[in-house]
Each structure stands twice: as structure tokens, then as C-alpha cells.
Amino acid sequence: MKIIDVTLTLRPDMPTWPGQPAPSLTPHSRIAQGGSSNVSILSLGDHTGTHVDPPLHMLEGGYAAERLPLPPMFGLCRVLRYDGDGHIGAAWLERQSLPSSVSRVLFRTRNSEHWRRGDNEFDKTFTALDPTAGAWLAARDIVLVGVDYLSIEPFGSSPIGHPVHKALLGKGVIVVEGLDLHEVDPGDYDIACLPLKILAGDGAPARVVLMRR
Amino acid sequence: MKIIDVTLTLRPDMPTWPGQPAPSLTPHSRIAQGGSSNVSILSLGDHTGTHVDPPLHMLEGGYAAERLPLPPMFGLCRVLRYDGDGHIGAAWLERQSLPSSVSRVLFRTRNSEHWRRGDNEFDKTFTALDPTAGAWLAARDIVLVGVDYLSIEPFGSSPIGHPVHKALLGKGVIVVEGLDLHEVDPGDYDIACLPLKILAGDGAPARVVLMRR
């Protein structure tokens, strides 16, 4: 069984959302300095790199990271490839003819080329789901949606109130952001997505892998 | 398929290794204060709660968290129950008659009662593997060993140079610490253990689940 790691490496020079700090790793104990082991302190925004959004991220009163349900995180997952320039909309989704057996969907877009190249700068023009795509997915029996940049909806969605996040999180759909899909061909896989179990966390850094069916 | 979460919840009042800080979650953006979403900064020692030890933790020049191999993290896993008062030794392991098909082993001990109760204090008398057990496991085709407290070897092992860590990490065995096994009956499961992918990390907080076979 081949395991494909679709997780971004947490590194100080990785792109983060504008205004959010880069992750840091600070030495706490060092063998080289007489310590009995190497131990470090990790500090990072809880929406850094590959991560899961609990409802609390966008919905006041929504549940937090430690209560994310686990069954949606495992099982059959379809990777769709989108090569368009604009954002993904309902009309394009409709044309993909998703069978009812598929309840987890990941979108590989041009964004993943950033991860292939190891880019360090945040790209505000990243490809995402438009509000029609959010509504389309929320209206179906979808349990997990994953994207290959740091938000599931376009940059600048604050003024319109993040309709894609709210449609999906309000329906209890697991939203996974920051996937590195540059090595993943379209098709069906088994996904394993495991976010950190953070009490009251409004985001949860995760490790995500795909296994080819 | 029943998924059993064997991960400790990251919380400010959880027990941590003496001298290591508690995890903290600091608000970065709050909807209640006019932000467009809830985002926080997580800070934690990389050996906090449920975590994996890469070789770099104890072996200078050993590889770090981002290079931990993934195949050992998935597959058949046996949970052994140890009810003794002392530490686990080779003689006890020998009596368990592990078949050669079992290459992943977790130890449920009295330690897990701390997690059942939600104890906040670090217990220096935790049960662990003694050096004979470390050598016994390292001499076999074991790829993953997990324990239900914060170290795989007894408290106070620094003066003797952490022989259990070094035997296992030197052999490339995945060491998982801080598992909560209080709800897990002895027997065979499928494990999924996914540590954060931290560049140069000497430890990696993880989410770990068991699925009953």
C-alpha cells in the first residue's frame, strides 16, 4: 500500500495567512549543550499549514477542535483536478458527476504548484470555492472537503461574511485546508486526516495522508 | 467500524514533563471582538501529550520529525495489558507469546487510570519499559512501540543514558508516548498514528486512533 503524504511541512519560512505569524521552534533542551535530550517548544497559529477548521473558527457557539468527529476523517475520498483560472463553481462541480458513494472530496488546483516549488510567499490570487460551490457541496451528503491552499474560499471573503465556510461548517462538513496535492493524480483514495486534539481550539493543525485504492 | 481515540486532549492544565511548559492557546483574532474569524496561537513543547519521538530526540545526528516514515504508523497493532507494580521487563514480554505477525505493540498499564480520572499532576512513579524490555523489543521485528505515559522508560533514566530510548530509536522503531488507553481492551486493532510534520522537530505531537479488527 502506497502512502502519499499530502501535508505541508511546518517551517519558519512557509506562507501563512497575512497577519498571522510564521511557526517557530525554540530550543528548550539540547544534548549539545549538556541536556539529557533534545526538546523544543513549537509555536504556531492553529490555521497554519495543513489544518482542519472546526465550526468555532467561523461560527460563534460552534464546537471546537477537540470535538471534531473522527469517522469523516477516514475512508473513500475522491481527488478532483481543476485547471481553470477562476474559482470553482457549482456548474463545474455538477459536470464532475460525483457518485453518491463519494462523500469526501479534495480539489487539486494550480495552487499545488506553490507547494511543488516550495514557495514562501502568500498568494492572494489562490484558487478556491465560490459561494455556488459551497452551497452545492453543503446540499449533498458530503462529510469532508479539502483544498490545496490556506482557505476554502477566495481571499477577501470577509466583507461578504465567508459564505462558503459557513455553509459547510454549519452543515457539519469537515473542512481541510492547506493540502499539498502536487503529487496526487485525480481519482479515488482512502484518506486519513488526523487533526491535533486541542481543547477549545478554533483550528487544528493536522497530518493528512492518502492511500491509493 | 468503531474508532477509538487514544489521544490526550491538549489543555493548559494537563501534566507535562517536569520543567516543560504547559500548552497554551492565545487568541489572535476573535469574532466577539470584531474579527472576521476565530484564530489562536498554539504554543507547546514538542513532547507534550500524545506524541512521537524521532531519533533526534535522543541521538545527535538522528533524523527529525519531518522524516519519520509513515508505513509503521498504520496497520495491525496489539494492545498488551500490564498490571504489575514494577516496570515491564523482558521476562514478562517473553511470556506474552507475540506472534511474528505483530510488529506494533502498545502497553496499557495503571498509567491510563490517570487519564481516566483527568489527573493534572505529573506522576514520577509511572510504569514504563525497563532496559531488558527495550533490548528485547529492539532485537525483534517491531516497528512501533507505544506507552500510556509521557516516557517509554522510567523517570530518572538520564543518569544511565536513556538506554530504552536509544535501543529503540537507534533501531528505527517508532516510539509513541502519552497514549490514553483507559478504554482499550487488550487485543488486536488497526492503528493510525499521525504526528505533525515539523521541520527539524525533535518531537511531534500526534493524533492516534485505534480501529477494532
Query: Which value does ipTM take for this structure?
Result: 0.97
Q: Grade residue A1 by pLDDT with cuts at 50, 70 and 90.
A: confident
Distance, in Å, from the CA atom of A104 to the CA atom of A192, rounded to the nearest integer, reads 11
Q: Which of B25, B45, B58 sits opposite A28 (nearest CB)?
A: B45
Chain A residue whose CA is closest to B24: A43
Buried residues in B58-85 as b, exposed as e (16+ CB within 10 A)? bbeebebbbebebebbbeebbbbebeee
pLDDT at A213 exceeding the cut of 80: no
Instruction: Extract the C-alpha cell encoding B170.
Output: 537507534
pLDDT of residue A143: 98
pLDDT of residue B1: 79
Q: Which of B5, B71, B162 sits opposite A70 (nearest CB)?
A: B5
List of chain A residues whose C-beta atoms are within 8 Å of the C-beta of residue B12? 199
Q: Which of A46, A56, A58 sits opposite B42 (nearest CB)?
A: A46
Distance, in Å, from the CA atom of A121 to the CA atom of B72, rounded to the nearest integer, reads 34
Mean pLDDT score, B124-142:
98
pLDDT at B141 exceeding the cut of 90: yes
Domain range for B190: 45-212
Which residue in the list B28, B47, B51, B57 is annotated as catalytic? B57
Instruction: Give chain B's domain count.
Output: 1
pTM over 0.90: yes
pLDDT of residue B208: 99
pLDDT of residue B213: 75
**8 Å CB contact of A38 and B202:** yes
Q: Grade residue B7 by pLDDT with cuts at 50, 70 and 90.
A: very high
pLDDT of residue A127: 98
Distance, in Å, from the CA atom of B10 to the CA atom of B18, rounded to the nearest integer, reads 17
Pairing of β B24-29 and β A24-29: unpaired
pLDDT of residue B180: 98
Whether residue B4 is contained in a domain is answered as: no
Write the CA distances from B110 to A32, B52, B113, integer angstroms.
35, 21, 6
Which residue in the list A57, A87, A114, A165 is annotated as catalytic? A57
Q: Grade residue A93 by pLDDT with cuts at 50, 70 and 90.
A: very high
List of chain B residues whose C-beta atoms are within 8 Å of the C-beta of residue A201? 10, 25, 40, 42
Distance, in Å, from the CA atom of B127 to the CA atom of B81, rounded to the nearest integer, reads 12
Mean pLDDT score, B46-72:
98
B126: CATH: 3.50.30.50
Mean pLDDT score, B182-186:
98
pLDDT of residue B191: 98
